[in-house]
Amino acid sequence: MGRVPADLIPADGALVVAEIFGPTFQGEGPSIGRRAGFVRLGRCNLDCTWCDTPYTWDWNRFDPAVELRSEPIGAVVERLAAMAPEIVVITGGEPLLQQRHLEPLLAACAERGWPVEVETNGTIVPDDAIVPLVARWNVSPKLANSGVAVDKRLRAPALAALMATGRAVFKFVAADPAELDEIAAVVHAHGLEGIWVMPEGTDPVTLTTRARALADPVLARGWNLTPRLHVLLWGDERGR
């Protein structure tokens, strides 16, 4: 563990990390409920208004010297091994901002038999070097409800590259069934398959209420619905 460089770029053989936590459960998407070790990387290239991990990127509200650290990859692997994970989830922030430093971690996970899921906002084309080492891409394109400009949050080349891996699912955060038309437009425009809708919410009551409202309309469109298991279990507690 060490100081984060001033420009927040990781040193060789290290990653800029916000949190490493687990064992816990993958809380969202196709692997919901699986025992997992999480690596949450620092920094993001978007600034969604409802972001539930602003401490990874919002330096108006948080201090990067407090929130982030430079962690050698060997130390990350040791922390994960202690969790005896079934899967490893690399999340953020936006983890692909550090993708040139991810290959050794992904290779170490492969050696140990841990399938890796990478959670990304779908705006960055993944490097060829890491694509074969990722078991699933959990891609979460952002809607207008994020407050991010459309040309910044929807990048056709990145979405196409992730689709082309054949191992991507696309998870959209919605607060209301009225947003499903917007999701359908994005799905159609980019030819996406493997669609999941997840209610927005960081407390169990909000999450459950929104999930119930979304359930039938999501079924009617032929898509999948995921709750956020960690929110149902632990609210917005960090590191769960």
Binding residues for ligand SF4, rule: CB under 6 A, are 44, 46-48, 51, 53, 92-94, 121
* Closest listed residue to residue 200, CA positions, set 211, 216, 213: 211
Q: How far is the CB of 108 from ligand SF4 (least distance, A)?
A: 24
Give least dist CB 221 to ligand SF4, A.
23
Q: Which are the contacts of 164, defined by CB distance < 8 A and separation ≥ 6? A: none
Task: Classify strands 116-120 and 168-174 as parallel, antiparallel or unpaired.
Answer: unpaired
Q: What tokens appear for 205 in the block?
A: 């009551």
Where are the alpha helices (H) located in the chain, listed in sequence order?
Answer: 64-67, 73-81, 103-111, 150-153, 156-164, 180-190, 204-220, 229-234
Nearer to ligand SF4, 76 or 143 (CB): 143
- Minimum CB distance to ligand SF4 smaller for 93 or for 227: 93
Quote the least distance from Cβ 112 to ligand SF4, whole Å. Answer: 27
Q: Which is nearer to ligand SF4, 128 or 151 (CB)?
A: 151
Nearest approach, Cβ of residue 110 and ligand SF4 (Å): 25
**Contact of 208 with 181, CB cutoff 8 Å:** no
Which CB atom, from 17 or from 77, has the smaller least distance to ligand SF4? 17
- Taking the complex as a whole, how short is the minimal distance between the CB of residue 41 and ligand SF4, in angstroms? 10
49: Cβ–Cβ under 8 A, 6 or more apart, which residues?
145, 146, 147
Closer Cβ to ligand SF4, 47 or 182, answer by number:
47
